[in-house]
Amino acid sequence: MQKLNAYRKELKALTTNILSKISSRKKLVIKIQNEKKTTGEYKNFDIQREISLFNSLSNELADYSLKELLIFSLMIETQAGFELEYPAWSSQVHIDKNESSLASQINPVLLATYQKSSYANLRFNEKFKKILNPLLEK
């Protein structure tokens, strides 16, 4: 029982640390967005930057399940801004017809990097086919 309590104490400390880091990340994202000079639809979505970021996190994300990728995707989506600033992947703005799969709610750039088969099964609407396919098919 002593070991279990020690594990729980360690888990609580890790959880507190994670929540603190998420809060710090959010503040930094806001600073970055304030520095950007881009305009237009999805001004906080830079596909080249996301490809680079997700590729650089390969060791950290390689073994993540779809649910864990969804958590990460939701954090990015939430912190990057509202629908006019960043695509609401979780609302399936990129999907031709709403699907019930977890994969359809995950940032497709992230999905293409770590779950290629799930990405391949998505049916994108015309708008996002034009945005995503040329860069992700490389």
Q: What is the mean pLDDT of residues 11-23?
A: 97
Alpha helices, H only, 36-107: 47-56, 58-61, 66-80
User: Of 74, 137, 60, which is closest to residue 105 (Cα–Cα)?
Assistant: 74
Between CA 14 and CA 19 the distance in angstroms is: 9
User: Mind listing the pLDDT tens digit for each residue in 43-61?
Assistant: 788 888 899 999 999 999 9
Q: Is the pLDDT of residue 39 over 80?
A: no
The predicted structure's pLDDT at residue 40: 64
The neighbour count for residue 25, using CB atoms within 10 Å, is 13
Q: Long-range pairs for 98-106 at CB < 8 Å and ≥24 separation?
A: 99/123, 102/66, 102/67, 102/70, 103/66, 105/70, 105/73, 106/66, 106/69, 106/70, 106/73
Sign of torsion, CA 92 52 37 81?
Answer: positive
- Predicted confidence at residue 109, as pLDDT, reads 95
Average pLDDT, stretch 23-45? Answer: 82
pTM score, whole prediction: 0.87
pLDDT over 70 at 98, yes or no:
yes
Using CA atoms, how far apart are residues 104 and 92, in angstroms rounded to an integer?
6
According to the model, what pLDDT value does residue 38 have? 67
